[in-house]
Structure 1
Amino acid sequence: MRIDIITLLPELLRSPFEASILKRAIDNGVVEIHLHDLRKYGLGNYRQVDDYQFGGGAGMVIMIEPIDNCISDLKKERHYDDVIYLTPDGQTLNQAMANELSLKENLILLCGHYKGVDQRVRDHLVTKEISIGDYVLSGGELGAAVLCDTVIRLLPGVLNDETSALTDSFQDNLLAPPVYTRPAKYKGLEVPEILLSGNTPKIEAWREQKAHERTVEKRPDLLGE
């Protein structure tokens, strides 16, 4: 997979890809991450990328021309499955969406700033709009990093145990069940006996039951009941 990120602040995005699982995925050739500074496509001597909004109002708007030129250059090199705009009013990111995007080959992520981008970008250049939650950030970079993490960890060869992702919260619309590790007893607190039994079918049944109970308690909306 290749992910190209268009941003005004590439330095803000470098660190998430320099450590942990994401760095390993890049080092192992599972994913390529390319950061593109939108100001390189800015207009005039001052590399202008934003302007006042028509009709008046507070806040600047990122112009269509620099974005169009950047996306056009990228598309000259390869086909992209989606051009994704990170915006608070986009479709809320969930596990099903991450699963779907993990099957793609090439993605462009566009990070917004200020009052956003010229609407013509959204109408004609973007194919999908994604939000990471009902709140506003100072820019789309952190949202892009979150989106990349949710998608990349699902790619084959990224996690040491690829079945681990299948038992994450929100897979099958259930929260993950409780997990325990050594010691089995600590200050009078004990691990459920079933987990120490070695009986795999009963353990799996217990985990499924607990996942359902936890979902009913914390996120009943996931069950649609």
Structure 2
Amino acid sequence: MRIDILSLFPDMFQATLGESIVGKAQDNGFLDIKVTDFRDYTDNKHNRVDDTPFGGGAGMLLQAQPIFDAMAAIDEETKDRYPKGRVILMDPAGRRFDQDYAQELSQEEHLTFICGHYEGYDERIRSLVTDEASLGDYVLTGGELAAMVMIDATVRFVPGVLGNMSSPMGDSFSNGLLEYPQYTRPADFRGMKVPEVLTSGNHQKIKEWRQREALRRTLERRPDLLKTAKLTREQRLMLEDLKLDQDPDVPD
């Protein structure tokens, strides 16, 4: 996957995307990430990328010209190897980012993120994009942090990045539920013991326990997720039992 990022602060990305799993994925050739400082594409002698809005108002807006020219340069550089792909504008008014969105983006060969600053964008910049995305109902000082979060969540689904493709598929939210509790050695830590079923070697019982505990955790912490989760018949029966355990006085 090729990922391009347009930002006024390219150094912000090195610590996050150059280390750990994402950094190793780049070293191993699974990801090609490039950050472009679109200030390099200004056509005025003061290298300004923003200006006051027509009609008045507070704050400054990013100008269209540097973004358009930076995008044209990326298109020229990548045209022989990558498709244009999705162009994502980081914006509080955009589509809410979640695990399904991350998995959807991971199917693309090429993603481009445009990170804004100041009061907002010249509206004509939106003509370049396929997606407008937001992390939630709050405003950050710039789009860089949001882009980092989206990239990190997305590339986990790219084959080779994690090594084991079953890992992201078992994450919280990937199947509509929170993830079940997990344990590692020692089996008894200061009197806190690992559930016996996990050391039994009975894989069927372990699977059932994990399903039940994922349902229990979701019911207790995020019951809203159960409204849209696609549950099997077995899981629905488990869920009904768990609800009775929560409130045994509730009639059938």
Between the two proteins, the alignment pairs up a number of residues equal to: 224
Question: Is residue 146 of structure 2 the alignment partner of residue 143 of structure 1?
Answer: yes
Name the CA distance, whole Å, in 2 between partners of 1:214 and 1:182: 22
Aligned match of 1:168? 171
Please state whether the residue corresponding to 1:35 is helix, strand or coil.
strand
Aligned match of 2:62? 62
The 5 Å alignment of 1:43-192 reads: 43-77=43-77, 78=79, 79-122=83-126, 124-192=127-195
* TM-score normalised to structure 1 length: 0.96
For structure 2, which runs of at least 5 residues remain unmatched after alignment? 229-252
The offset of 1:87, in angstroms, is: 1.5
Question: Is residue 16 of structure 2 the alignment partner of residue 13 of structure 1?
Answer: no
Q: Please say if residues 178 and 210 of structure 1, whose CA atoms lie closer than 8 Å, have aligned partners that are also in contact.
A: yes
Name the CA distance, whole Å, in 1 between partners of 2:219 and 2:225: 8
The offset of 1:133, in angstroms, is: 2.0
Name the CA distance, whole Å, in 2 between partners of 1:167 and 1:91: 24
Higher relative contact order (CA 8 A, sep 6+): 1
For structure 1, which runs of at least 5 residues remain unmatched after alignment? none
Identity %: 46
Q: Please say if residues 83 and 108 of structure 1, whose CA atoms lie closer than 8 Å, have aligned partners that are also in contact.
A: yes
Name the CA distance, whole Å, in 1 between partners of 2:124 and 2:227: 36
Name the CA distance, whole Å, in 2 between partners of 1:13 and 1:191: 39
Please state whether the residue corresponding to 1:75 is helix, strand or coil.
helix
The offset of 1:37, in angstroms, is: 0.3
Please state whether the residue corresponding to 2:163 is helix, strand or coil.
coil
Kindly name which structure, 1 or 2, has the bigger radius of gyration based on alpha carbons. Answer: 2
Aligned match of 2:219? 216
Name the CA distance, whole Å, in 2 between partners of 1:189 and 1:15: 37
Name the CA distance, whole Å, in 2 between partners of 1:171 and 1:30: 22
Name the CA distance, whole Å, in 2 between partners of 1:38 and 1:175: 39
